[in-house]
């Protein structure tokens, strides 16, 4: 076995690989950019090497620097994780040329499956069913549109070298095709350095089901069952689970055998995923399946497979790369229970899932284990109910340079119902302050009847938007009372022997009533808090109720309020009070807080950049009169495109930035006058 490996990645996957390597007695080398000098993955490894500045193209995508770091530190192998150089055939070949083991498939397999178009041609020769479409070399707009017209709308335009949902556009009408193609090509070129695309029929109710395959250098190849990844936003996965709900044994075997055949056809070695798409009926049951693509790497969602099989797939990768046989063959594999993974992101679901940046001023996660255990290739299936894979800690920053994932939360249950119950409970214990995140959205999604009943397809979030994006409920008196309790607990803790530091409002022969004003998205909340000898009396609207603070430890508060006793976590971040109670996160703010710049349309009539990025296209001319919803310009941030639209009917007076210019978050982009 290797004595030292280099992990050519960052974040949670670098931490994940390091954990298995440590358990196996393998020393690890981290690499990092200037933005990641103090990152968790650097601390997780035995030593670390700086690559360069923050942008990935100047650091994590510099294969020659990574190979030089491996040589300098004596690493015998490189684990690429996923993303970055994990599916780069030139990097895999460069490792081989340098005498360093690439922990992944051979360059020839990456080459064969790296292009979606070429992979589909290969699968067509192997008689694997394909979605109707065009995957050819001619990339002229006229030809691509002609094929779209022939296939029939809606169609899907997809980057040929793509992945992770980038460079994909659904086109519902022929007149929208040219603009969608141009946008897709720009995003594909920016993300993959390759603007080639394919066009295929867009299934109306598709289910995304993928098969985990594994092969060694001794001719053995197995499938470790399936994962359902149908729940997606912006073509990126949100929830993954294994096994796929409603999967029959016959369908599982057929898809598994097709995936193994695909892997063998390209001489595959290591971990890979063959992705299929199937048209679902009105109940979510998958019908005929079609080959979509093969990912020649470990997947983000590999933990759910580990949870139902009991095997550590990173250990399998290391053993296979070392020339060993697979730890188990097909007849040794079985499914145990049900596992679900959700991806906790720094993003704002209410703003089209825009990625967010900021510092994690508070991060609390449920009790968990680091990863599945596996001893010497022998299955040791004893899954903990909750697992967290994360590459950040409290105090770390989510930067604009990389994927904004905060953590993966994985749960296991004897069946899907138990797994769902455990997932809901675990999400209630994920408390994040300092950056917009999707935890509340995930909680609503898990609670959604359609998801709970496994009526799955890739349009579930869009179909259920009325429920999933419902206006926030009225701020309850419980939330306001907890916010008051946090204020007085913190003030009491700050008191000294100086009587002027007292904030309890002592009065002779009378009580003191303090006016506390909060605001939230639901308006202003005026609370009168009366200080008494035995505690407090809370006055808000028609409610007049006693409030007593029973216990306070860290962020945890136990209170008696209005003849009830309950507990919650309340975190104060300057004047924002974050109340985590009953599985939901509510924020109220003291009224003197200054509104954050850039969160809404600027007062001077301009439009603000929702996040740092670069202007890549302008759609209308200065002086143009536009209607509400008209696309004005396109920004690129975190390799994704974000269209800025007119907030109302009006006139575009000026563009304050040109194409190619960098823009800071909150900066005015457009001078705009509303129609009277």
By annotation, the residues acting in catalysis are 297
> What does the block give as tokens for 394?
């409290």
Q: What share of the chain is helix, strand, coil (3-state, %, to 5)?
A: 30, 35, 40
Residue 337's beta-bridge partner residues? none
**Distance (Å, whole) CA 243 – CA 414:** 12
Give CA angle at 60 (56, 65), nearest 5°: 125
Q: What is the DSSP string of 79-130?
A: E--SSTTTT-HHHHHHHHHTT-EESS--HHHHHHHHSHHHHHHHHHHTT--B
CA distances from 190 to 36, 336, 614 (A): 22, 41, 12
b/e sequence 232-247, b meaning 16+ C-beta within 10 Å: bbebbbbbbbbbbbbb
Q: In this structure, are residues 512 and 531 in contact, taking their beta carbons and an 8 Å threshold?
A: yes
Q: In this structure, are residues 437 and 392 in contact, taking their beta carbons and an 8 Å threshold?
A: no
CA distances from 414 to 72, 302, 335, 395, 443 (A): 47, 19, 11, 36, 21
DSSP state of 350: G
Long-range own/partner contacts, residues 375-382 (CB < 8 A, 24 or more apart): 377/315, 377/316, 377/319, 377/327, 377/328, 378/327, 379/309, 379/310, 379/311, 379/328, 379/332, 380/310, 381/309, 381/310, 381/336, 382/310
> What does the block give as tokens for 481?
């009372």
Residue 513's beta-bridge partner residues? 530
Q: In this structure, are residues 130 and 274 in contact, taking their beta carbons and an 8 Å threshold?
A: no
Position of tokens 């081989």?
96
**Distance (Å, whole) CA 145 – CA 132:** 14
**Distance (Å, whole) CA 203 – CA 151:** 12
Reference 392, options 18, 26, 43, 5; nearest CA is: 43
**Distance (Å, whole) CA 580 – CA 592:** 22
CB count, 10 Å around CB of 127? Answer: 9
**Distance (Å, whole) CA 342 – CA 672:** 40
Position of tokens 């001077």?
604
Q: In this structure, are residues 392 and 411 in contact, taking their beta carbons and an 8 Å threshold?
A: no
Q: Give the helix/strand (H/E) hosting 537.
A: strand 535-540
**Distance (Å, whole) CA 30 – CA 61:** 14
> What does the block give as tokens for 187?
């995003």
Largest Cα separation within the chain, whole Å, is 92
Supply the angle between the helices 63-73 and 89-97 in degrees, to the nearest 10. 30
Residue 609's beta-bridge partner residues? none
**Distance (Å, whole) CA 101 – CA 95:** 6
Give CA angle at 345 (365, 669), nearest 5°: 140
Position of tokens 């995508």?
61
């Amino acid at each position: 076995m290797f004595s030292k490996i280099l992990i050519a990645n960052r974040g949670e996957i670098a931490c994940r690989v390091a954990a298995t390597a440590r358990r196996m007695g393998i020393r690890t080398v981290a690499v990092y950019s200037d933005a990641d000098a103090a990152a968790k993955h650097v601390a997780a490894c035995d030593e670390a090497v700086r690559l360069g500045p923050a942008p990935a193209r100047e650091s994590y995508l510099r294969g020659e620097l990574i190979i030089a770091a491996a040589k300098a530190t004596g690493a015998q192998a490189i684990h690429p994780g996923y993303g970055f150089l994990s599916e780069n055939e030139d990097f895999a070949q460069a490792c081989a040329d340098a005498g360093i083991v690439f922990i992944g498939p051979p360059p020839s397999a990456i080459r064969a499956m790296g292009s979606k178009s070429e992979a589909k041609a290969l699968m067509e020769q192997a008689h694997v069913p394909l979605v109707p479409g065009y995957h050819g070399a001619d990339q002229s707009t006229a030809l691509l549109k002609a094929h779209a017209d022939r296939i029939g709308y809606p169609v899907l335009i997809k980057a040929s070298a793509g992945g992770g949902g980038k460079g994909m556009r659904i086109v519902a009408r022929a007149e929208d095709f040219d603009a969608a193609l141009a946008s897709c090509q720009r995003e594909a070129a920016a993300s993959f350095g390759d603007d080639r695309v394919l066009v295929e029929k867009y299934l109306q109710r598709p289910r995304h089901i993928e098969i985990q395959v594994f092969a060694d250098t001794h001719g053995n190849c197995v499938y470790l069952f399936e994962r359902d990844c149908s729940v997606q936003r912006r073509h990126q996965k949100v929830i993954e689970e294994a096994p796929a709900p409603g999967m029959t044994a016959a369908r599982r075997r057929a898809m598994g055998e097709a995936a193994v055949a695909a892997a063998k056809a390209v001489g595959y070695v290591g971990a890979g995923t063959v992705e299929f798409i199937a048209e679902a009926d009105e109940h979510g049951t998958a019908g005929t399946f079609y080959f979509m693509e093969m990912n020649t790497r470990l997947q983000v969602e590999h933990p759910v497979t580990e949870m139902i099989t009991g095997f550590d797939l990173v250990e399998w990768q290391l053993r296979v790369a070392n020339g060993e046989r697979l730890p188990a063959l097909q007849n040794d594999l079985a499914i145990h229970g049900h596992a679900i993974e959700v991806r906790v992101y720094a993003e704002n679901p209410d703003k089209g899932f825009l990625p967010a940046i900021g510092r994690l001023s508070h991060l609390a996660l449920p009790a968990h284990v680091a990863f599945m255990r596996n001893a010497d290739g022998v299955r040791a299936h004893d899954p903990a109910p909750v697992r967290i894979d994360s590459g950040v800690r409290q105090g770390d920053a989510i930067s604009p340079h990389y994927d904004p994932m905060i953590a993966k939360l994985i749960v296991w249950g004897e069946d899907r119902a138990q797994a769902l119950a455990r997932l809901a409970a675990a999400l209630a214990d994920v408390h994040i302050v300092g950056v917009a995140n999707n935890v509340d959205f995930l909680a609503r999604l898990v609670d959604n009847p359609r998801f709970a009943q496994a009526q799955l397809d890739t349009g579930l979030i869009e179909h259920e938007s009325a429920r999933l994006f419902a206006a926030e409920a009225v701020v309850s008196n419980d939330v306001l009372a907890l916010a008051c309790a946090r204020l007085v607990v913190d003030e009491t803790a700050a008191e000294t022997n100086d009587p002027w530091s007292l904030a309890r409002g002592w009065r002779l022969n009378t009580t003191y009533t303090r006016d506390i004003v909060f605001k939230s998205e639901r308006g202003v909340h005026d609370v009168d808090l009366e200080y008494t000898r035995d505690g407090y009396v809370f006055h808000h609207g028609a409610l007049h109720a006693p409030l007593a603070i029973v216990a306070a430890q860290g962020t945890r508060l136990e209170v008696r309020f209005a003849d009830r006793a309950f507990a919650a976590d309340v975190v104060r971040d300057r004047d924002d009070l974050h109340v985590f109670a009953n599985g939901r996160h509510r924020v109220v703010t003291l009224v003197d807080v200054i509104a954050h710049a850039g969160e809404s349309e600027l007062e001077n009539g301009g439009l603000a950049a929702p996040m740092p990025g670069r202007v890549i296209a302008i759609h209308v001319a200065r002086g143009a009169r536009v209607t509400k919803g008209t696309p004005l310009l396109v920004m690129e941030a975190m390799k994704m495109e974000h269209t800025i639209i007119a907030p109302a009917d009006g006139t575009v007076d000026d563009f304050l930035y040109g194409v190619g210019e960098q823009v800071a978050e909150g900066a005015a982009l457009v001078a705009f006058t509303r129609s009277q």
